[in-house]
Amino acid sequence: MSSGELADATIVFDLDGTLVDTAPDIIRALNETMDLEGLPRVKPDTVRNLIGHGARVLLERASALHGVTFSATRLDQLTAEFVSFYAADIARESRPFDGVVEQLGILASLGAKLAVCTNKRTALSVQLLDALGLTERFSAIVGADAVTDRKPHPDHYRAAVTRAGGVVRRSVMVGDGAADVGSAKGAGAPVCIVSFGYSDVGADTLGADVLLHRYSELAPACRRLLAARP
């Protein structure tokens, strides 16, 4: 059994835009997919506002920017193509955000269990974290395909906490978007939102308990939030 101030706590992280700046590789794979349809390439700043709901939704949103709607069958095909392009070089440019590795170490030293709750597919999430040498830091990695209802449904968050060996009442969500807030709040957990993620609205409008501007603020925020809970 772990010991430390947060020995009974579970800290749950979103992946894209929260733990890892994956936008460069997602943009690459998206534009390679758009090339198949002869559509204009999407600008990086635009894509950052579309990420967070999985590959299929990303493709729907990106094509809609050009007034294009694909049939369900073609969207399935393009989603498979996107995943193939993305997985072929998943961490070419993706890197953990500044301070992430240090904070994961601090939280672990305080006894906390760590988990990932992401709308990315589980296999892709593990592949990415493997490539960055981060997988073993997490007790559970729960992608959208590993649950019946993904974020913002609270069951996705509950699954990440329980599969990590924790309990929701002693957990904190760390994310960057509305789906993260919705999932954790729906389960009854507090939320920290990073201000530098991929949200399509202002991070300060999402209703988080804490807004983080740098990762050095994370461990103190988790300690405060958990100290206020039974």
Active site residues: 14
Angle between helices 72-88 and 122-131 (to 10 degrees): 20
CA-to-CA distance for 161 and 130, rounded, in angstroms?
Answer: 21
Q: How far is CA 129 from CA 48, 135, 212, in A?
A: 20, 5, 22
CA-to-CA distance for 33 and 47, rounded, in angstroms?
Answer: 13
Instruction: Give residue 150's identity as a one-letter amino acid code.
Output: R
Three-state SS at 112: coil
Q: Indicate left, alpha or beta for 207 from its phi (over 0: left) and psi (-120 to 50: alpha).
A: left
CA-to-CA distance for 52 and 75, rounded, in angstroms?
Answer: 18
- Mark 205-215 as b/e (b = at least 16 C-beta within 10 Å): ebebbbbbeeb
CA-to-CA distance for 151 and 164, rounded, in angstroms?
Answer: 17
